[in-house]
Amino acid sequence: MVRSKQEIAARKHLWYLAHRDIDKERKYRESRKYRESHRDEIRSRARVRRVAHREEIKQKARQYYLKYKERARLWRKKHSSKLKEQKHLYYEQHRNEINAKNKEYYLANKKKASARARTYYKSHRDVVKRRSATYQKANQETVRSWLKSYRDAHLPHLRTYGMDAQQYAALLRRQQGVCAICREPNKNGRRLSVDHDHKTGAVRGLLCINCNTALGHLKENPRLLQRALNYLQTHSPGRKTKKR
């Protein structure tokens, strides 16, 4: 029995419709099995191709992005809460790995990363400040604990003066937690600065930012300090000094 071309094509089409899902599943299983057994080879070929066709791949990706940019923006806006939840969940599951990769990239590209951060901050200053203020307001306890841990770990240039955290704490206790000159703590809540002799390097005490700055402006010269005292006593005779 001779069949016409139309009958043969119709039978092939019917067979394809009947076995389409089965054939797809079989091809998927074979493809997955091949990918699992040749994973390194496939990745190596992909890396070679990316290097050899870098510009072509970038151009195609750019064209695709421009073509579907608006559609992607609308989709992200529609599913923003779901995307944030997924991103947060992924970060929590891979926190150490992500932080390690970011740190490794930053150390390898420090100048590039710093320049990019400065450029972004200059062009988005208001957005960054508003975002930072919103986060700090919503996470006050977290920010306070982080600042405290950071300050404890980075006490002001202690290594420069041959001190450690325990020696700094002991000196602070001896001064009762206040400046050695004005007998007051720092107004802004910062730690007291380490005052040292610039000639010998010996630590003299802990000073607030105002007293430390005043000594620096007067060049740590006792004669200038005495002249300043004489000047105040001469031009402010009725002023009484507080005993501390």
Express each pLDDT in 156-180 by its tens digit.
566 677 777 788 888 889 999 899 9
- The answer to whether residue 16 is domain-embedded is no
The answer to whether residue 103 scores a pLDDT higher than 80 is: yes
Taking alpha carbons only, the member of 238, 159, 228, 150 closest to residue 190 is 150
- The answer to whether residue 122 is domain-embedded is no
Per the structure, the complete domain to which residue 162 belongs is given by 146-235
* Cα angle 197-234-229, degrees, rounded to a multiple of 5: 10
- The answer to whether residue 70 is domain-embedded is no
Summarised one tens digit per residue, pLDDT across range 15-36 is 777 777 777 778 788 888 888 8
- The answer to whether residue 110 is domain-embedded is no
| Inter-residue contact 188 to 210 (CB < 8 Å) | no
* Cα angle 197-202-207, degrees, rounded to a multiple of 5: 65
Summarised one tens digit per residue, pLDDT across range 42-74 is 999 999 988 999 999 999 999 998 889 899 899
Taking only Cα atoms into account, the Rg of the chain, rounded to an integer number of angstroms, comes to 35
- The answer to whether residue 113 is domain-embedded is no
Domain holding 216: CATH number? Answer: 3.40.1800.10
Which token pair is 115?
């320049």
Taking alpha carbons only, the member of 165, 177, 169 closest to residue 207 is 177
What is the rounded CA–CA span in Å between residue 201 and residue 195?
10
Q: What's the number of domains the chain is made of?
A: 1
